[in-house]
Structure 1
Amino acid sequence: MTATAQTNPVNELLAELTTQAQGVTLATYQDFLHTVALLVVDGTIDPIQRESVIKALTGNGHELGGKRLITNALTAAEKQIKRDMETPQGGIKGGRGLYSLRDNGVWYSKPTKDGYSEPVFISPHLKVIAETYDTADGNNGRFIEFKDTRGRLKTWAMPAIFAAGDGTEIAKYLRNAGLNYVYGFDKEVIDYLLSSEVTDLMTCSDRTGWVNDVFVTPKITYGENAESYTYQPTSAIDNKIGQAGKLADWQANVARYAQGNPLMMVNTSQAFAGTLLKKAGMMGFGLHDWSSSTDGKSTTLKIACSVWGSEFWQQWLSTSVGIEGSAYAHNDLFLALDEIGEATAQTVSATAYALANGEGKRRGGRDGNAKITKKWRVVFLSTGEKSLDTLMKEAGMVTRAGQEVRMINVRSDAWKHGAFNDLHGMENGSVFAEMLEANTKRYYGTAGDAWLYAITQPGGIPDDISQSVDAIRETMLPEGASGQVRRVARQFALIAYAGELATKHGITGWKEGDATAAAKECFDLWVDDFGGADGKREHRQVLEAVESFLFASISRFHDLRVSDNSIYAVKDRVGFVRSGVDGGHEYLVPATELTKLAEGYSREQIITALRMAGMLNEPGKDGKSAIVLPRAVGKQMKGFIITPK
């Protein structure tokens, strides 16, 4: 009886708290959390009872957030109460005076001959919670909380570098974020922040992505002990992660329409894949959806972007430096670039390598020393009306095979309705696209949130991810696939794996195997457009360049078939032409002129391609490809005899 009598008050209190939790709104959320936190800290309610209150808050219908967000907020409130209990009574001594944090904000006393003046109010609630540091022992700072003009509690990971000089960057940020401190006390506010003693430590990162087993984003960190990690950029960020609607809304109004549409499904799966690069041990890569018509490729990009946020894409119209900054802000995530035609070929060429290789250009600082090079891992999606190869050719540049396996061209008009295969009952592709784009403006970001929560749980990403990706690749590879084709196949396999894992975690609403089938279809399309699986793509490009030059530049060859060649003054001569054995032409090209026939390719690449095609003379007695040309060309010189097929 005695034991029952002792536990009844606690049970009654718990019943009252769970009842109150049902009516908590955003306006009363913080106050209720504070009440519960006090009861947890003083031991009135135990961990099991605490979970009951969290469960009641999670399902009260006022969209306070998911269970993990409420749990993190309550944990933070409990830590705050414990810190308040440890705050020294004498206040905080700074370089400009004495500061004290009270219920209504920060008060300041300036030094006088006799000690300190009477305290004056200088700021609403503002407190340093922890010291921040990154894993490279740099980018230190302070994690602070404050209340804005509407009484909302906000946090900011303040880089210590912002305090350099007069600290203007700190004052600007706080004002912009809504901290309405008293005019004229900028220096005192900064002094207070820098003088506050803290014992708690938080790991910070100035880029998104994996830090140990925690995933950091601008707004939320995911994983075990996530509250000990924070995002702390040292400059303005270009990352539009955000949420609207519920996951079920996104599944019903966006994701389900990817079924039956391979390109849409691949692009959406691709949006999940960036977070898996590190775990799979892979470098970054991208797909470039292209066609010369308006076929829905931009719509598929927007659908993929809806995994993470609203208008999560940006235009290609930027410098390579600007895109590098975007890649850094999307590390371990997904980067979308629309309309490649707005960028210069030079920007695209440099960007294709940089985005995939994960490293920016090395640059010097004002002192002459090299700046720290930005690094990232990212999966990117590009769209445009021209393929990478076409864009480069128009600018007189050569597309390297290395670029084409990093930025993979996928024709977006290969299906029944351009980029779409199944319109799900809509009358035409335009109506279908308009409906999808409208839906992506209403429902977005919840899939990315659910995905990060799922993959940061124990076992969320299986340990055998690399082997599983390889297994998917083997099902895709055609016979006799070259190294380049195998590399692209593994990238499509990672996309397939990401889509299947998101499906397994209940995020996409697709059927098992759908993502893999879509990836295989798009990969097969790429292989056909690439010119086959044999790896001779670059050889074919060399031959095309040589044949185009010979056809367009016949006037630059001295014609040995004319009896009196002396009357011809050949401008910019690159060689000679004569009749061949079978009535065709043979071109005699001095060794020094060979690379002019295929600008951008090396002598060795040209020789190899011509020999494989049977268009080059046999090696000389010395085993070298260049032979002594016939006397008819004049002075003795070494070169090559090319016979077009």
Structure 2
Amino acid sequence: MPSTPPEPKPQADPIQRFLAELPESQKPFFKYLARTLPREYCFDRKGISVRPNGVRSVLSRQDAKPFCTPFRVKSYVEEQEGNGWKSVIEILNPDGKLVECLLPWRILDGKPNEALGVLANHGLRILNGYNKQSVLELIRTWKVSARELEVSRFGWTPDREAFALSSGRVLTRKTTEASYRFVGNADGRQIGNSAVWKESVGRLAIGNPNMLFACALGFSTALLPYATSAGSTIYHLHGRTSQGKTRVLRTALSVWPKIGEADKTWIATINGLEGEMARANNHLLGLDELPEEPPQDFSRAIYMIGNSGGKGRSTKDGTAITRQAWRTSVISTGEDSMAGTLKKLGKPPRGGQAVRMIDIPLEGAFGAFDTLHEHATADAFVKALDVSLAKAAGGAGALFVTGIMHGSAAHMEAYVSRHVTEQAAAMQDALGIVAGDTKTTEIRRVLDAFALIAVAGELVSRWGITGWPEGTATAAVQEIAKRWLGDRGNMAYDQINVLESIRDHLQQNQDRFMTIAQAINTEHDTAEIPGYQDDTYIYLLASTFALSHGKATSDAAVTYLLDANYLHAGGERNSQQYRLPKINGKRSRAYRIRKSLLEFDGKQQGSGETSTQNVVQMPRDTGTAG
């Protein structure tokens, strides 16, 4: 019997044969190109050609003459606030790599030569100069179903449906149907993942209030859009050099993707501060080394940061330029405090600055640290921390944002509001601050900011991101708040400035104040005498008093003196002045000021120590390191 001939092998599809010869990295690109390229065109590895009449294959014939190298239109992107559209063009560049290019439609249709330049800059080659318009026409007629929403800055989108990390990765809620694309300059880099961060940086923070506070501060920036009354704030850690301030700053920044290798400093950053703040939106900006002699616009910079927006500007023709805005926090370091730095500039700190830039003395058993864990010395601990920081950045912050997205934005806003109120009330109670007291408005505003940090710290603890026991973050934030208030005192800064001005005036003129006993018994020229004194008081004549309190009114100065118990009123019905004994045949009136004002250090006289009985205490190392 004759043998049965073998069945013929099925012929491979031409497209499959074409794809089989490509590098793996290019196969999805050309597969999509074969499926979506408009039917008037064909392609091969060299480029895109016009398909001849009667040819059905999407693959070019050997004699085809491409008018451009391969590309595809990937999606359409709607710009923020509906201001326009862009096409996402994926281009196979001369090195065989796929790159994406965003081409705004206003350029595609209104400035064709500029559009071709944008494409060329990304590696697209026009192979026949007479067919330049063919490229643009192909882009216009390419049917694209994919739609994306543009995200042009880091942090939450206005609808709080997505969050752009500084690495360019966009996190979205599972419930949202929209797709988002980050179109800005993403130079952040995630190192490791959240588990690495937890076992390294998070573990070393336990027992170290400064590190715990810094980490919680880093996480809290993602909650700012859910805290309706919270603004942008600078947290300034100050203390002697080589204490570990910079390590604490780096610890805070490790919550988010790493940007660059060098630490940002005040000197290098202040001129471009608006841009840096906008780029740090809902992330965290670190500014190291506040100099002893800062730029003159340092005072203005504090207000700008705290006001969450830059200057309004316009083009030459008067068109308004979109004002840069942000909601974020800054962790800052320096040897001197903000208040001390401003005084060196001859600009005493104002109350508005003190709630925008919070001075926190850096203290610890081992410089900035209190617990060294398994390490025998502070130097060994710092080296271990450096190793941890080098292998973990960004994963913890991304996981926290993902946790926030599990519920609705409204639910998280209600949660944050309720728990910030509870944390702030607990801190006020622990620190002896009376709720509703107008004299402590500045203090309570800062405690509200601390409360949000505590809420963030407790959330990341509860969600298992940090490895911290619940309550640890609250204890650390309360300790930092106690330290801040102990250093600052209970007075409003405007009151402090007035009292310091009067104190300085008294100190400078103390030798000119004649004693009351001498004045009564000696005839003298009262025009040369600014006032009198005895063992307890300085009696400041009204004309001199008006020169002593700077720009404040005399009524305000009197109020501040009375409130601080430095002015002893004289019993006059319509005046707070005291009637002196007869001097040179006349009984003049003067402000009777206690000499204890000469020793005023910026804190409430006789206020005692800050209450600590309700403050949650952090555990400390009690023996040798380790």
Give SS of 2:77's match.
strand
The answer to whether the Cα contact below 8 Å between 1:295 and 1:419 also exists between their aligned partners in 2 is yes
Cross-structure match for 1:470: 421
Q: Distance in 1 between matches of 2:575 and 2:107?
A: 64
Cross-structure match for 1:179: 123
Q: Does the C-alpha gap of structure 1 residues 567 and 494 become closer, same or farther in structure 2, counting only changes over 3 Å?
A: closer
Counterpart mapping for 1:600-615 below 5 A: 601=552, 603=554, 605-615=556-566
Cross-structure match for 1:380: 330
Q: Distance in 2 between matches of 1:465 and 1:566?
A: 63
Give how far 1:29 is off.
6.6
The answer to whether the Cα contact below 8 Å between 1:334 and 1:378 also exists between their aligned partners in 2 is yes
Counterpart mapping for 1:619-630 below 5 A: 623=574
Q: What letter matches 1:449 in structure 2?
A: A
Cross-structure match for 1:294: 242
Counterpart mapping for 1:20-39 below 5 A: 28=24, 31=27
Q: TM-score, with normalisation over the residues of structure 2? A: 0.73
Pick from 186, 193, 215: which aligns with 2:163? 215
Give how far 1:240 is off.
4.0
Cross-structure match for 1:360: 310
Q: Does the C-alpha gap of structure 1 residues 557 and 582 become closer, same or farther in structure 2, counting only changes over 3 Å?
A: closer
Give SS of 1:131's match.
strand
The answer to whether the Cα contact below 8 Å between 2:539 and 2:591 also exists between their aligned partners in 1 is no
Give SS of 1:382's match.
strand
Cross-structure match for 1:585: 538
Query: For residues 585-612 of structure 1, what are the alpha-carbon distances to aligned partners after superposition, in whole Å with 9 as ceiling and x for unaligned?
Result: 3222438x73x53446555543321232
Q: What letter matches 1:138 in structure 2?
A: N
Q: What letter matches 2:251 in structure 1?
A: I
Cross-structure match for 2:404: 455
Cross-structure match for 2:54: none
Give how far 1:351 is off.
2.4
Give how far 1:502 is off.
1.9
Q: Does the C-alpha gap of structure 1 residues 221 and 411 become closer, same or farther in structure 2, counting only changes over 3 Å?
A: same
Give how far 1:488 is off.
1.8
Query: For residues 263-289 of structure 1, what are the alpha-carbon distances to aligned partners after superposition, in whole Å with 9 as ceiling and x for unaligned?
Result: 111111111111111112222223111
Give SS of 1:307's match.
coil
Q: Does the C-alpha gap of structure 1 residues 130 and 551 become closer, same or farther in structure 2, counting only changes over 3 Å?
A: same
Q: What letter matches 1:474 in structure 2?
A: A
Pick from 419, 429, 450: which aligns with 2:368? 419
The answer to whether the Cα contact below 8 Å between 1:397 and 1:600 also exists between their aligned partners in 2 is no
Cross-structure match for 2:384: 435
Give how far 1:168 is off.
9.1
Give how far 1:508 is off.
1.6
**Range with greater deviation from structure 2 (487-496 or 303-312):** 303-312
Give SS of 1:359's match.
coil
Give how far 1:337 is off.
1.2
Give how far 1:101 is off.
6.9
Q: Does the C-alpha gap of structure 1 residues 625 and 319 become closer, same or farther in structure 2, counting only changes over 3 Å?
A: farther
Cross-structure match for 1:269: 216
> Structure 2: which 5+ runs fail to align?
1-22, 52-63, 435-439, 597-626
Q: Distance in 1 between matches of 2:258 and 2:446?
A: 29
| Match status 1:539 vs 2:487 | no
Q: What letter matches 1:181 in structure 2?
A: R
Give how far 1:550 is off.
2.3
Give SS of 2:402's match.
helix
Pick from 436, 443, 460: which aligns with 1:502? 460
Q: CA RMSD in A?
A: 4.3
Pick from 297, 300, 318: which aligns with 1:350? 300
The answer to whether the Cα contact below 8 Å between 1:208 and 1:329 also exists between their aligned partners in 2 is yes
Q: Distance in 2 between matches of 1:629 and 1:143?
A: 85
Cross-structure match for 1:57: none
Cross-structure match for 1:14: none
Q: Distance in 1 between matches of 2:583 and 2:109?
A: 76
The answer to whether the Cα contact below 8 Å between 2:43 and 2:70 also exists between their aligned partners in 1 is no
Query: For residues 80-127 of structure 1, what are the alpha-carbon distances to aligned partners after superposition, in whole Å with 9 as ceiling and x for unaligned?
Result: 68xx75653235xxxxxxxx7766545589xxxxxxxx8534334353
Give how far 1:525 is off.
1.1
* Greater RCO, 1 or 2 (C-alpha within 8 Å, sep 6+): 2
Cross-structure match for 1:525: 483
Q: Does the C-alpha gap of structure 1 residues 29 and 606 become closer, same or farther in structure 2, counting only changes over 3 Å?
A: farther
Q: What letter matches 1:263 in structure 2?
A: N
Q: What letter matches 1:379 in structure 2?
A: S
Q: Does the C-alpha gap of structure 1 residues 148 and 582 become closer, same or farther in structure 2, counting only changes over 3 Å?
A: same
Pick from 387, 394, 400: which aligns with 2:344? 394
Q: What letter matches 2:457 in structure 1?
A: G
Q: Does the C-alpha gap of structure 1 residues 192 and 625 become closer, same or farther in structure 2, counting only changes over 3 Å?
A: farther
Give how far 1:183 is off.
9.0
Give how far 1:130 is off.
0.4
Q: Does the C-alpha gap of structure 1 residues 107 and 326 become closer, same or farther in structure 2, counting only changes over 3 Å?
A: farther
The answer to whether the Cα contact below 8 Å between 2:244 and 2:368 also exists between their aligned partners in 1 is yes
The answer to whether the Cα contact below 8 Å between 1:545 and 1:598 also exists between their aligned partners in 2 is yes
Give how far 1:296 is off.
0.5
Q: What letter matches 1:388 in structure 2?
A: M
Give how far 1:459 is off.
5.6
Cross-structure match for 1:515: 473
Give how far 1:466 is off.
1.2
Give how far 1:620 is off.
10
Give how far 1:538 is off.
4.1
Query: For residues 225-245 of structure 1, what are the alpha-carbon distances to aligned partners after superposition, in whole Å with 9 as ceiling and x for unaligned?
Result: 476222234xxx4x6421122
Counterpart mapping for 1:56-455 below 5 A: 85=35, 87-90=37-40, 105-106=47-48, 119-135=65-81, 137-138=82-83, 140-148=85-93, 150-158=95-103, 179=123, 181=125, 191=136, 195=140, 200-211=146-157, 212=159, 213-217=161-165, 219-224=168-173, 225=176, 228-233=179-184, 237=185, 240-281=187-228, 282-311=230-259, 313-318=263-268, 320=270, 322-341=272-291, 344=294, 346-368=296-318, 370-412=320-362, 414-455=363-404
Cross-structure match for 1:486: 444
Q: Does the C-alpha gap of structure 1 residues 449 and 578 become closer, same or farther in structure 2, counting only changes over 3 Å?
A: closer
Q: What letter matches 2:564 in structure 1?
A: A
The answer to whether the Cα contact below 8 Å between 1:132 and 1:157 also exists between their aligned partners in 2 is no
Q: Distance in 2 between matches of 1:590 and 1:193?
A: 84
The answer to whether the Cα contact below 8 Å between 2:237 and 2:334 also exists between their aligned partners in 1 is yes
Q: Distance in 2 between matches of 1:486 and 1:28?
A: 61
Q: What letter matches 2:505 in structure 1?
A: F
The answer to whether the Cα contact below 8 Å between 1:317 and 1:342 also exists between their aligned partners in 2 is no
The answer to whether the Cα contact below 8 Å between 1:363 and 1:373 also exists between their aligned partners in 2 is yes
Q: Does the C-alpha gap of structure 1 residues 579 and 256 become closer, same or farther in structure 2, counting only changes over 3 Å?
A: same
Give how far 1:556 is off.
9.1
Q: Does the C-alpha gap of structure 1 residues 541 and 102 become closer, same or farther in structure 2, counting only changes over 3 Å?
A: farther
Q: TM-score, with normalisation over the residues of structure 1? A: 0.71
The answer to whether the Cα contact below 8 Å between 2:580 and 2:589 also exists between their aligned partners in 1 is yes
The answer to whether the Cα contact below 8 Å between 1:578 and 1:585 also exists between their aligned partners in 2 is yes
The answer to whether the Cα contact below 8 Å between 1:268 and 1:303 also exists between their aligned partners in 2 is yes
Query: For residues 531-551 of structure 1, what are the alpha-carbon distances to aligned partners after superposition, in whole Å with 9 as ceiling and x for unaligned?
Result: 14xx44542342123202321
**Number of matched residues?**
539
Q: What letter matches 1:508 in structure 2?
A: T
Query: For residues 300-353 of structure 1, what are the alpha-carbon distances to aligned partners after superposition, in whole Å with 9 as ceiling and x for unaligned?
Result: 111221221235652212465511111111212211111111772543322222
Q: What letter matches 2:182 in structure 1?
A: Y
Query: For residues 196-249 of structure 1, what are the alpha-carbon distances to aligned partners after superposition, in whole Å with 9 as ceiling and x for unaligned?
Result: 55565422232222222111235111113476222234xxx4x64211223322
**Range with greater deviation from structure 2 (495-504 or 150-159):** 150-159
Q: Does the C-alpha gap of structure 1 residues 158 and 536 become closer, same or farther in structure 2, counting only changes over 3 Å?
A: same
